């Protein structure tokens, strides 16, 4: 079952890069770590891409918002017991209603519109990832480190250096902005899709933390969820 929520722009990716000497070699120098998801989230190019989306995909966003509102009204018709959920019995009954074909069509149209916006963000992330290795190499050279790992890959190291900010700085210099309009023949890679999911999740966490901090400063009660939105399949 899925919860119908108010429409929002995808706020809609785990890859790892490690530069290491052969396992049998002796490491001469500190080990560095870099959180690549944080690099993308904090990069100027990512911010620029997300700022472009509302304008570049304004037509798709407005269409998705309108269709989502219409679909929610149909879901309310299907929700006979008004418990904000559409159970199996209600779904079976809904299939006999005249609104059911329209609901199916709306679900497909919304999915297609959302996919267009997501593809733009995925293309932006892919461009940023294309400059990740040079940025890491540049930061590693500046810090005189021989191995760069994701933080999760380090079990123990006597000396580690976090070069995430250094990589962000190098990336910003190399790629200050990106486009969110992929070529017609472009196909997203699995790696880009996965990294976009990582970025989206990190952004949601950061937004939640920021909201809590603002509420703590103002003394406001935590925001409550929308209990009126029905749940559909």
- pLDDT-based confidence at 86, cuts 50/70/90? very high
pLDDT above 80 for 17: no
pLDDT attached to residue 12? 39
Compute the mean pLDDT over every residue in the chain, rounded to the nearest whole number: 85
pLDDT attached to residue 218? 81
Q: Please report, rounded to a whole number, the percentage of residues in the chain having pLDDT higher than 90.
A: 70
Least-confidence region, from 9-23, 99-113, 126-140, 144-158 = 9-23
In the chain, where the domains are located: 13-21+28-218
Strand, coil or helix: what is 232? strand
pLDDT above 50 for 19: no
Going by DSSP bridges, is the β-strand pair 2-3/231-232 parallel, antiparallel, or unpaired? antiparallel
Query: Which residues, in sequence order, are CB contacts of 185 under 8 Å at separation 6+?
Result: none
**Model confidence pLDDT, tens digit, residues 139-198:** 999 999 888 998 887 777 666 789 999 999 999 999 999 999 999 999 999 999 999 999
Tell me whether residue 61 is exposed, middle or buried, using C-beta atoms within 10 angstroms of its C-beta: 0 to 12, 13 to 18, 19 or more: buried
Q: Compute CA 18 distance to the chain's CA centroid, rounded to the nearest angstrom.
A: 23
Question: What's the CA gap between 193 and 198, in Å, rounded?
Answer: 9
The pTM for the full model equals 0.77
Counting DSSP H helices and E strands in the chain, the numbers are 8, 5
Mean pLDDT of 118-140: 97
Least-confidence region, from 20-29, 90-99, 172-181, 209-218 = 20-29
For residue 233 the two structure tokens come to 């399949």
Q: Please report, rounded to a whole number, the percentage of residues in the chain having pLDDT higher than 70.
A: 80
Question: What's the CA gap between 195 and 197, in Å, rounded?
Answer: 5
pLDDT attached to residue 5? 46
């Amino acid at each position: 079952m899925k919860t119908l929520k108010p429409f929002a722009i995808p706020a809609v990716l785990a890859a790892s890069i490690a530069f290491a000497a052969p396992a049998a070699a002796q490491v001469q120098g500190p080990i560095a770590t870099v959180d690549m998801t944080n690099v993308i989230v904090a990069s100027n190019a990512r911010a620029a891409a997300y700022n472009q989306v509302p304008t570049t995909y304004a037509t798709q966003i407005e269409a998705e918002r309108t269709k989502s509102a219409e679909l929610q009204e149909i879901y309310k018709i299907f929700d006979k017991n008004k418990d904000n959920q559409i159970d199996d019995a209600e779904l079976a009954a809904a299939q006999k209603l005249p609104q059911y074909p329209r609901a199916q069509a709306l679900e497909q149209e919304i999915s297609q519109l959302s996919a267009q916006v997501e593809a733009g963000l995925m293309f932006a992330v892919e461009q940023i990832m294309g400059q990740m290795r040079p940025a890491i190499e540049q930061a590693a050279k500046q810090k005189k480190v021989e191995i760069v790992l994701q933080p999760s890959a380090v079990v123990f190291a006597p000396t580690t250096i976090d070069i995430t900010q250094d990589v962000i700085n190098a990336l910003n210099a190399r790629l200050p902005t990106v486009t969110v309009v992929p070529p017609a023949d472009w196909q997203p890679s699995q790696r880009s899709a996965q990294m976009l999911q990582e970025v989206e999740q990190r952004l949601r966490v950061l937004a939640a933390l920021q909201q809590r901090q603002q509420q703590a400063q103002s003394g406001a009660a935590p925001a409550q969820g929308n209990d009126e939105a029905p749940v559909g399949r």
